[in-house]
Structure 1
Amino acid sequence: MPLIDMPLEQLYEYRGRNPRPSDFDEYWDRAIAEMRAVDPQVELVPGSFQTPQAECFDLYFTGVRGARIHAKYIRPKFITEPHPAVLLFHGYTGHAGDWADKLAYASLGFSVLAMDCRGQGGSSEDTGGVKGTTHHGHIIRGLDDHPDNLLFRHIFLDTAQLAGIALELPEVDPERVYAAGASQGGALTIACAALEPRIRKLAPVYPFLCDYKRTWEMDLAKDAYQELKTYFRHFDPRHEREDEIFTKLGYIDLQFLADRIRGEVLMSVGLMDTICPPSTQFAAYNRMTAPKRLLVYPDFGHEWLPDAVDQTIQFFLD
């Protein structure tokens, strides 16, 4: 098998390269307190798409810094008792996707909440000085400001706030709330379960936003991580602030949130992934202390992974 990263036995031992800020735990405790102080002002609006088997809603809530966040909410009809719910998170710069691709879960008796990340391809606001989308550059947003203003801090908090809303829905069984997503969606799945530990099961697929310095050192700051190279080229061309920059990125590095997870984990990784290098993903996986299992795809990269969705659904049904 060709390799783009470490041998598999080394990956299972790898603990990450990016520096961890000394006040990391205080940082996220302060962030959670800010989130909990927000009145979410939840609003449900019947969606333009409806089916005989499920009700579809546009769900809106207010996140930190006043942004109105949008999620698609689908709940099965004809189920009167509290039932499970799954939170779905999308890839970088994307959006919550079509209503139709959530119907498999609804047909199995799940409510589904699929969030639009603020400022990306969907309907959630980015209140960073403009109305409308900003689409790209979210990893580096806030690097030259106070760490509390990092944009991904706010997006991570949005996932936890949505989970809290789901847990309070009268139709949802709070003992069966799960999360799933791939790439950025995999990262947000980890963030959600770390910041809202009542998430009982999570299924991240090749998660993004892990171990930035390792990505840089592998010369893979391209594609989804291109903005790291752009930032250095424009704002620190001689890398005089390199340690400072990677330390600040450590606040939004999922490997350091991973040990807060309390739910059961099913994670998938492709060993030929040149978008989110396998070692960066293992850095997060190896720090998880909750029950966990890894599906390894030796010949696959950042792409469709055969059977991964089926495995996820079965994991949530078991």
Structure 2
Amino acid sequence: MPLVDMPLEQLKTYEGTNPRPADFDEYWERALAEMRTVDQQLELVPSSFQVPHAECFDLYFTGVKGARIHVKYVRPKNMETPHPAVVMFHGYSGHAGDWSEKLAYVSLGFSVLAMDCRGQGGTSEDVGGVKGNTYHGHIIRGLNDHPDELLFRHIFLDTAQLAGIAMKLPEVDPERVYAAGGSQGGGLTIACAALEPRVKKLAPIFPFLSDYKRTWDMDLDQEAYGELRTYFRYYDVLHEREHDVFKKLGYIDIQFLAERIRGEVMMSVGLMDTICPPSTQFAAYNKMNTMKQLVIYPDFGHEYLPGSSDRTMQFFLE
């Protein structure tokens, strides 16, 4: 079969290219400590969308830096005992999606919490306040500032905070909180379960936000990763700081968070993916030290993977 990346046998042992900051663990412990001091100001507002067998709420909480984060929260009616919950994360620049998309899980007795990423297509706040580029791209947002100002740092913390909120809801069983998403949502699923290791199961699909330098070296920084090229064209035209740029991006590289995961993983990847190259995804998967399985689609790229939604649901039902 044709290849867009390494042969599969090499992918299975690939450990990544992007440099890992020496203080990576300290960076995230400091970030989590900041998150834990936030007054969440949790708010539940009944939605205008309602159906007979479920209750739908706009859930709001305050994340780091004071941003109000919006979540679509759907829970089954008349559940007598604590039940499982799924936190869901959307693709890059998107939003939490329609209410009706969550009802299949609700019909099985799950609560669903779908988060709008700050500053993207939903209604979560982006409070800004960083030096440098704000015109295009969340990967490079804050790259000219202190590493603590990287926007994806804040978004990663939002995912962990949401999982913790789900675990404290009286109707939810904290031992059965799961995470799912594709592309950016897959990357955020990994970040969520890494920063909130009590997440029991996670199902990332072709995860984004991994091994930035590898994508750059493959000359695939043209679509989802296109802002990397934008950054260099504006801020480092001679590439004099290239190593330092990718080292700073290492703080928000999910491959380095992956080793923190304790939940069970089912990850899906398409070997023809030119948006999030397979090697970047394997770099994260190969670092996971937990019960895991990989579902490989040899002929598929960054597109709908047939059966993946059904497989995820069955994985969470087991």
The TM-score with structure 1 as length reference comes to 0.98
Residue aligning to 1:196: 196
- In structure 2, the residue corresponding to 1:191 is in which secondary structure? helix
Distance 2:6 2:43 in 1: 47
- Identity within the alignment, %: 77
Kindly report which structure 2 residues correspond to 1:29-68, keeping only aligned pairs within 5 A, or say none.
29-68=29-68
Q: Deviations over 1:40-98 (max 9, x none)?
A: 01000001100001000000000000000000000001211100000000000000000
Change (3 A) 1:40 1:151: same
Residue aligning to 2:208: 208
Residue aligning to 2:258: 258
Q: Give the gaps of 5 or more residues in structure 2.
A: none
Matched, 1:246 2:268: no
Distance 2:65 2:123 in 1: 16
Kindly report which structure 2 residues correspond to 1:1-318, keeping only aligned pairs within 5 A, or say none.
1-129=1-129, 136-318=136-318
Letter in 2 for 1:30: R
Distance 2:35 2:129 in 1: 20
* Farther off after superposition, 240-249 or 136-145: 136-145
Distance 2:146 2:245 in 1: 12
Letter in 2 for 1:233: R
RMSD of aligned C-alpha atoms? 1.0
Letter in 2 for 1:88: M
Letter in 2 for 1:157: L
Change (3 A) 1:135 1:188: farther
Distance 2:242 2:207 in 1: 24
Q: Give the gaps of 5 or more residues in structure 1.
A: none
Distance 2:156 2:135 in 1: 16
Indicate conservation of the 8 Å contact 1:93/1:136, yes or no: no
* CA displacement at 1:129 relative to structure 2: 3.8
Distance 1:135 1:183 in 2: 22
Q: Deviations over 1:117-162 (max 9, x none)?
A: 00000010000149xxx79410001111000000000000000000
The TM-score with structure 2 as length reference comes to 0.98
Moved over 6 A (4+): none
Letter in 1 for 2:273: D
Count of residues in correspondence between the two structures: 315
